[in-house]
């Protein structure tokens, strides 16, 4: 745990010293703010953050890989990854430390967006339940996308490759439900059995911009299901383990 905290603090300091984090945070607030205003500006609009959540879910397809693309790729490019691998640190400690740092940055961005919630309380009477469950679900969703981005960063020493691969994987997970509805046969049964698209899909949207089906939609409605929680934790764990395996393979090269 000590080594994990050291790596996490080091990466957090690097984030705050780099303009990339500020650019990504500004873009996140701008895009989610646009979706939020669009969802509450209509006459008789519901006092909720479902528009904000839709914008955040969509933007994280690109934001999470952007936050994680340098975490391992840069270490490989500079040659410092070999130093880490030959130190007493275990691969999993390196991965978890970097993951916690990236998740902390997204947590800060979500805190900055609390301004939108304040606006709802000033001009409306929002339900507390969907607000809290929506933000909780957003953190779970963010952890899954960050794990995918971290895995992509480990595949190459080129940060752009990590960004493109990470965004590609997340885009594939986003549209897979859309595709599964339009194909038949064995492939459709496989996609439906794993319900991959249900967790990330932004298709089949309702009037608030949040997918009607899937794991995240329940959080936006104020429903916290253990199934949804386990699903996102499982996706996060799987990609963190895959990232660890990639690093372990480098140790033996």
Strand partners, 211: 205
Give the model confidence (pLDDT) of 105-144 as tens digits: 999 999 988 888 888 888 777 778 888 888 898 999 999 9
Closest CA relative to residue 96, chosen from 59, 143, 160: 143
Closest CA relative to residue 95, chosen from 57, 160, 143: 143
Answer yes or no: are the C-beta atoms of 98 and 187 closer than 8 Å.
Answer: no
* Alpha carbon separation from 131 to 30, 125, 136, 203 (Å, rounded): 20, 12, 9, 22
Mean pLDDT on 220-246: 87
In the predicted model, is pLDDT for residue 84 greater than 80? no
Residue 206, pLDDT score: 44
Q: Which residue has the higher pLDDT, 153 or 174?
A: 153
Residue 148, pLDDT score: 93
**Total-model pTM:** 0.85
Query: Domain limits at 156?
Result: 2-251
Residue 253, pLDDT score: 57
Answer yes or no: are the C-beta atoms of 150 and 98 closer than 8 Å.
Answer: yes
Average pLDDT of the chain is 79
In the predicted model, is pLDDT for residue 42 greater than 60? yes
The total of structural domains in the chain comes to 1
Tokens 């439906």 correspond to what residue?
192
Looking at mean pLDDT, say which of 80-89, 109-118, 195-204 comes out highest: 109-118
Residue 211, pLDDT score: 47
- Rg (alpha carbons) of the chain, rounded to whole number: 19
DSSP codes, the chain: -HHHHHHHHHHHHHHHHSHHHHHHHHHHHHHHHHHHHHHHSSTT--SSSHHHHHHHHHHHHHHHHHHHHHHHHHHHHHTHHHHHHTSS--HHHHHHHHHHHHHHHHHHHHHHTHHHHHHHHHHS---HHHHHHHHHHHHHHHHHHHHHHHHHHTT-S-HHHHHHHHHHHHHHHHHHHHHHTT--SHHHHHHHHHT-HHHH---SB-TTSSBSSSHHHHHHHT---HHHHHHHHHHHHHHHHHHHHHHHHHHT-
């Amino acid at each position: 745990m000590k080594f994990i905290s050291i790596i996490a603090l080091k990466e957090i300091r690097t984030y705050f010293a780099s303009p990339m984090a500020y650019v990504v945070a500004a873009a996140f607030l701008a895009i989610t703010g646009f979706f939020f205003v669009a969802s509450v500006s209509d006459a008789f609009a519901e006092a909720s953050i479902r528009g904000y959540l839709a914008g955040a879910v969509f933007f994280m397809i690109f934001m999470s890989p952007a936050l994680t693309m340098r975490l391992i790729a840069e270490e490989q490019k500079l040659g410092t990854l070999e130093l880490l691998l030959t130190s007493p640190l275990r691969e999993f400690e390196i991965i978890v430390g970097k993951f916690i740092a990236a998740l902390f940055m997204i947590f800060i961005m979500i805190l900055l967006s609390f301004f939108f919630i304040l606006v709802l309380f000033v001009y409306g009477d929002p339900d507390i339940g969907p607000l809290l469950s929506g933000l909780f679900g957003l953190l779970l969703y963010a952890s899954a996308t960050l794990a995918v981005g971290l895995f992509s960063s480990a595949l190459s020493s080129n940060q752009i490759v990590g960004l493109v691969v990470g965004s590609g994987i997340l885009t594939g997970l986003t549209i897979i439900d859309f595709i599964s509805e339009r194909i038949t046969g064995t492939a459709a049964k496989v996609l439906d059995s794993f319900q991959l698209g249900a967790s990330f899909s932004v298709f089949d949207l309702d009037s608030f911009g949040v997918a009607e089906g899937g794991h995240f939609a329940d959080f936006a409605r104020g429903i916290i299901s253990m199934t949804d929680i386990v699903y996102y934790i499982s996706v996060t764990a799987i990609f963190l383990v895959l990232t660890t395996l990639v690093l372990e393979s480098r140790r033996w090269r």
